Amino acid sequence: MGKGRGDLTHVEWARLKPHLPKSGQRGGRWVRDRRVINRILYRLRPGVPWRDLPARFGPWKTAYERHRRWSADGTWDRIFAAVLADADAEGRIDWSMVSVDSTSCRAHYHAAGARRKPPRVPGKRRTSRQHHPDEWLGRCGGGLTCKIHLASEGGCRPLALLITPGQWGEAPQLIPSWNASVSGRLGGGHPRTRPDHLGGDKAYSSRRNRRYLRRRQIKHTIPEPKNQQANRQRRGSKGGRPAGFDKTIYKRRSEVARTINALKNVRAVAKRLDKRGYIFHGTVSVASTRLWLRP
């Protein structure tokens, strides 16, 4: 089979191959990894249904089952962590500035469907639709959405990912998303989790977040909303000092917006085509890994 548009290049494959699982299920052998991963990447980029994969890729179910299995057992997350470790060892991670932000993904109606009449639970009122909490779907903006919280390094590539229902706010997710960083180090050892500077918009401003960043000795630039300024001033000396704000550094927050734009160029991420939450998380991990594989 000839090389198709969007397939892994030889350089990308050389970076990815060492981190793939060594063998398949007991009693059988996997189809060639590179060919199957190219099928998965093809489906993610235009966002086509699995059954509509071109015939040149072979059976669609082979690619679907591989993606589903690796999403369920965390293989895609481990691959993402290993690729990040390689990049850190090669000095390709720009730790001078890490920015945090989130983006909402409106769920496609194929992903948003649920049973019209869920099973009745004693003592609870039955609603017209029911979604499991681990599917990360919530009502926001007039429809079912999920939200991707991410931290991006200075080179506009993701370092950490967290997916929540669409109505969840940004400030409570700063610490969980930062702790979800999957970057590691070759040969073992603790991964680096402290950048030179961290930036975020007003949505991430809270006393809890600032206290956490100070305790971790992470310099940060997060503007303070007017209501928080007024509350601090009313408390007098107990309110603490005003948050530092450097407009020049804050301009670099656009790097995370460019990272989000690169992720959403993958239509399967932008449209939330996957019904199950863990599969969608695997989809975002694959898209993030692809950004790091590129030279």
List average pLDDT for each run of 10 residues in the chain, which is 295 residues long.
73 93 58 84 92 87 94 93 90 92 89 58 49 74 86 92 91 86 58 85 90 91 84 68 75 93 94 92 96 90
Task: Name the phi and psi angles at 290, rounded to 5.
Answer: -60, -35
In order of start, what are the domains of the chain with their CATH numbers?
10-112+128-293 (3.30.420.10)
Joined together, the tokens standing for residue 45 give 């980029």
C-beta of residue 44 within 8 angstroms of C-beta of residue 268: yes
Rounded to two decimals, the pTM is 0.85
Tell how far CA 148 is from the center of its chain: 6
Q: Which residues contact 192 (CB under 8 A, 6 or more apart)?
A: 88, 95, 183, 185
Spatial separation of the C-alpha atoms in residues 103 and 203, rounded to whole Å: 12
Spatial separation of the C-alpha atoms in residues 159 and 182, rounded to whole Å: 7
Spatial separation of the C-alpha atoms in residues 103 and 149, rounded to whole Å: 7
- The residue count of the chain comes to 295
Tell me what pLDDT residue 128 has.
Answer: 42
Tell me what pLDDT residue 144 has.
Answer: 87
In terms of phi and psi (left: phi > 0; alpha: psi -120 to 50; beta: otherwise), the region of 261 is alpha
Spatial separation of the C-alpha atoms in residues 259 and 48, rounded to whole Å: 23
Task: Summarize pLDDT for 176-227 with one digit per residue, the tens.
Answer: 888 776 555 555 566 677 899 999 999 999 889 999 999 999 999 998 888 7
Spatial separation of the C-alpha atoms in residues 70 and 33, rounded to whole Å: 12
**CB-CB neighbours of 119 under 10 Å:** 7
Q: Which residues contact 45 (CB under 8 A, 6 or more apart)?
A: 6, 266, 267, 268
